[in-house]
Amino acid sequence: MSEAILAMQAARRPFKDYHAHHFRFEASEDGRVATVRLDRPERKNPLTFDSYAELRNLFRDLTYASDVRAIVLAGAGGNFSSGGDVFEIIEPLTKMKMPDLIAFTRMTGDVVKAMRACPQPIIAAVDGICAGAGAILAMASDLRLATPEAKTAFLFTRVGLAGADMGACGILPRIIGQGRAAELLYTGRVMSAADGLAWGFYNSVHASGNLEVEANALARSLADGPWFAHGMTKTMMNQEWAMGLDEMIESEAQAQAICMTTSDFRRAFEAFVARRKPVFEGD
């Protein structure tokens, strides 16, 4: 095996035992399914400067994970996240100069970019409060499950800020439509779980006790599926936002041809012929 191939393989590493400092990180025994849990339940899991930075770094680094294939993003204590911490983030921001403010807003946007760029599907399991930056984290996920108690609000205008935060004006309309997104971003009103389900923000709604069971079951089904192909699907869904039809068709032709060279594609064919369930390895 060439040194170049060995170097590329060495860049990939397991994340099963990753130790988080500003949230909880848990992984299944085989490392394929990871849970990122915001864990300040006494304050409804607000985000801080440090947790933003660590989330950005983690999702960036997960590009090189050799084990994690799907991620569940959740909160502790019956809530998802109340957004930026009022005293640890909001108050300091009122005292900063423009260079520091733009550095902060770029860092928060980098969290969304890292979530969208990592190849693993991210499933948000939303219970209770999901507000401000918490709503953005749910929005930036690939799939969203909720409980009937989920209350999602893009609160930025309530504190004198634009609804244009961390990609909300671009991403939210693509999920729920321009008119509904405009209503939420202008008014800051709460979107109920029922509205979120009807509008396509939430993929499904489950009782609180079953939420993470369902989220983990979905994550496991994706992790045990054609992982490389899932990553390619996520990449194409991101890239095709800014493409014309001809570019879309050509890009998907190339993406599908790449997937056809994988062992997963061959295994699926062999399993079909043998009338058995395929086992995907993502290679």
> Own/partner pairs for 262-270, CB < 8 Å, 24+ apart?
262/226, 262/228, 262/229, 264/226, 264/227, 264/228, 264/229, 265/226, 268/226
Q: Give the other-Cβ count within 10 Å of 11's Cβ.
A: 10
pLDDT tens across 45-70, in order? Answer: 999 999 999 999 999 999 999 999 99
Structure tokens belonging to residue 117: 């760029």
**156 Cβ contact list (under 8 Å, min separation 6):** 132, 162, 163, 165, 168, 185, 188
Q: How far apart are CA 143 and CA 74, in angstroms?
A: 12
Q: How far apart are CA 26 and CA 73, in angstroms?
A: 11
pLDDT at residue 1, rounded to an integer: 57
| Contact status, residue 65 vs residue 33, Cβ threshold 8 Å | no
- Rounded to two decimals, the pTM is 0.94
3-223 falls under which CATH superfamily? 2-enoyl-CoA Hydratase; Chain A, domain 1 (3.90.226.10)
| Contact status, residue 124 vs residue 143, Cβ threshold 8 Å | yes
pLDDT tens across 114-164, in order? Answer: 999 999 999 999 999 999 999 999 999 999 999 999 999 999 998 889 999
User: Across the chain, what does the average pLDDT equal?
Assistant: 94
Mean pLDDT of the 76-80 span: 98
pLDDT at residue 11, rounded to an integer: 79
Which of 152, 156, 159, 160 lies closest to 176 in space, CA to CA?
152
Q: How far apart are CA 33 and CA 222, in angstroms?
A: 9
Q: Is the pLDDT of residue 35 over 60?
A: yes
Mean pLDDT of the 34-39 span: 98
pLDDT at residue 12, rounded to an integer: 87
Q: Is the pLDDT of residue 74 over 80?
A: yes
pLDDT band at 203 (very low <50, low <70, confident <90, very high): very high
Phi and psi at residue 124, to the nearest 5°: -85, 125
Supply the DSSP string of 27-92, one letter for each residue.
E-TTSSEEEEEE--GGGTS-B-HHHHHHHHHHHHHGGGBSS--EEEEEESTT-SB--B-IIIIIHH
Q: Is the pLDDT of residue 234 over 70?
A: yes
pLDDT band at 275 (very low <50, low <70, confident <90, very high): very high
Mean pLDDT of the 250-263 span: 93
Residues in the chain, overall count:
283
Mean pLDDT of the 194-205 span: 98
pLDDT tens across 220-233, in order? Answer: 999 999 999 999 99
Q: How far apart are CA 217 and CA 2, in angstroms?
A: 39
Q: Mapped to the 3 state alphabet, what secondary structure does 14-29 carry? A: CCCCCCCCCCEEEECC
pLDDT at residue 85, rounded to an integer: 83
In the chain, what are the domain boundaries? 3-223, 227-274
Supply the DSSP string of 158-203, one letter for each residue.
GGT--S--TTHHHHHHHHH-HHHHHHHHHH-PPEEHHHHHHHTS-S
pLDDT at residue 10, rounded to an integer: 66
Mean pLDDT of the 252-277 span: 93
